[in-house]
Structure 1
Amino acid sequence: MEPLPRVAMVTRAQARVGLVFRVMPNARCLTCRLYKVCAGLLRPKGRYKILAVRRKAHFCPLIRDYMVVVEVEELPLLAAVESKVAVEGVTLRYESISCPRDSCPYYEYCTNSPLVEGEKVKVVKVVERIACPASRSLMLVELLPVASFKDPNSR
């Protein structure tokens, strides 16, 4: 079953069907009365694709311009997982890979995913084997959360 599109708001310049964007909310957004409908249902650092643009717009005091209401779908995120669970179609609970080697080109995929520890995700695509300098058997995969994101900051 396909997840339902979510409603969010983007700048007028971004309000185009097919545009892919990453959510990077400002800390001041959390106090805005429109936060819940603007970015509150979207995962910070998550990637989304605009499916439809609505006619409604709201003024954003932070950017001093109008934000347009859009329908979006969440896109898969790249992350590192243990090779034994890197099978397309498998549903698993996400666990970040602890690693002290911050100079590794895969470090961000192992330790800094927008996914939440223990969150149910589906392996959408196996991208490549990771040449891990710590000799771990890891794969770079595209993961899609099974359930909708629930923002703990949302009122």
Structure 2
Amino acid sequence: MQQMYILSTLLCAMALPGVLGFTCYKCSYVTITEGSRRDCIENPSALGFNSHLQCNSTSYCVLQEQYDIHKKMVTSYFRSCSGKSWGNECNKDWSHVTCKASCQGNYCNEQDRGKRYEPYLAEHKDDYLYDNGSSVTSNIYLFVSMACVARYYQRKMV
């Protein structure tokens, strides 16, 4: 009888991690928020036990970083757990690169250090949205634009 109890306890203990899932880091960082902690980006394990979030086995650890192209810095960062994958990609708009990532496993969202935007920007360095005005493409674009405006006003004055 005692052997059966030990065997059933052992089987339950072995099945428990699959039922419980895994743990992700949860934290957020926003540059405009006073007291916001950069440890969320650089060292989430330093945030203590309150930064741990238990997720079920079908969930994903997720993170999102937002890089301001003009300020040249990460202005917001978020780690948590989600019921669905956020993918692993970066997207741009006129002022930001927003990168999202998803993974499964204990603390799998720990290793990221808020640098996902770097390879994205390197790959899109000739994209006019990231141009600082020094590339040949932007100078040609500026020249053609000014020539068109000048031509328009020249015709209007005649």
Give the TM interval when normalised to the shorter protein.
under 0.3
The answer to which structure, 1 or 2, has the higher relative contact order (CA under 8 A, 6+ apart) is: 1
Please identify which structure carries the higher helix content: 2
Q: TM-score, normalised by structure 1?
A: 0.24
Q: Compare CA radii of gyration and give the structure with the larger one.
A: 2
Q: TM-score, normalised by structure 2?
A: 0.23
Please identify which structure carries the higher strand content: 1
